[in-house]
């Protein structure tokens, strides 16, 4: 009589095990996981934070959960997205930690400065003047404040697709090009994955 298949062998031979393994690998390499693991190091309970191009608040709400006395200023020009953010924040119980700002960036209307942390997720490629964008971010940060930019990486299939979609004048930057933009910042941490990058840096 053949011995019964060991439970561990069964899992390793099963399609369920294979699916779980793939999901674990996908989560391990997730840009969201990388973003949260790196940015939570610079956020404290009273941080003043700016989320540029917040959309429906996927990152805003999660960031607000880390705050007690702090606040996340969520800036976007799309009213429909901001309305969804408002609902998400209320359901998550963090609406008192979020300030919704209907505006573009850079802007002269939104007069808030001295941020501890400013971030943008998949927004840098939406701007033609990348250097001007980063300069405005620097102006809004307090000395020693932190900036984080997560975006698609130029030169990859995803990056080329987005560049074609946006048309003339827009460019999806490579990791090297992004690093150059942050020359004036200190303590840079740069992460490059298959089709995206994350850079975290501090204002001098």
Confidence of residue 44 (pLDDT cuts 50, 70, 90): very high
Flag whether 3 is in a domain: no
**pLDDT score recorded for residue 165:** 86
For residue 52, give both structure tokens.
């540029």
Confidence of residue 101 (pLDDT cuts 50, 70, 90): very high
Flag whether 1 is in a domain: no
Please state the domain count of the chain: 1
Considering only residues 119 and 31, tell me which one the structure prediction assigns the higher pLDDT. Answer: 119
Mean pLDDT is lowest, of 23-27, 61-65, 96-100, 143-147, for 23-27
Flag whether 17 is in a domain: no
Cβ(153)–Cβ(159) below 8 Å: yes
pLDDT in tens, 1-34: 555 545 455 445 445 445 545 545 444 568 999 9
Considering only residues 9 and 177, tell me which one the structure prediction assigns the higher pLDDT. Answer: 177
Print the domain residue range for 191: 29-203
The yes-or-no verdict on residue 201 having pLDDT over 70 is yes
CATH code for the domain of 98: 3.40.50.150
Cβ(46)–Cβ(69) below 8 Å: yes
Measured CA to CA, the distance from residue 32 to residue 46 in angstroms comes to 23
Mean pLDDT in residue range 142-161: 95
pLDDT in tens, 67-91: 999 999 999 999 999 999 999 999 9
Look over the chain and give the mean of its residue pLDDT values, rounded to a whole number: 88
Cα–Cα–Cα angle for 56, 59, 62, rounded to 5 degrees: 115
């Amino acid at each position: 009589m053949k011995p019964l298949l060991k439970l561990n062998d069964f899992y390793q031979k099963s399609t369920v095990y294979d699916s779980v393994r793939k999901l674990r690998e996908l989560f391990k390499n997730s840009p969201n996981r990388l973003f949260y693991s790196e940015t939570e190091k610079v956020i404290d309970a009273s941080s003043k934070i700016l989320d540029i191009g917040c959309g429906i608040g996927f990152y805003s709400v999660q960031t607000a959960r880390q705050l007690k006395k702090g606040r996340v200023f969520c800036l976007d020009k799309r009213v429909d997205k901001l309305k969804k953010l408002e609902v998400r924040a209320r359901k998550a119980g963090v609406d008192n930690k979020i300030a919704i700002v209907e505006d573009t960036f850079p802007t002269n209307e939104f007069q808030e400065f001295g941020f501890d942390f400013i971030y943008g997720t998949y927004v840098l490629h939406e701007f033609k003047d990348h250097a001007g964008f980063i300069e405005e971010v620097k102006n809004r940060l307090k000395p020693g404040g932190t900036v984080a930019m997560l975006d698609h990486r130029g030169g990859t299939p995803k990056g080329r697709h987005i560049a074609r979609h946006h048309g003339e004048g827009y460019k999806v930057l490579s990791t090297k090009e992004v690093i150059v933009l942050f020359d004036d910042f200190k303590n840079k941490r740069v992460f490059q994955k298959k089709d995206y990058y994350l850079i975290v840096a501090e204002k001098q």
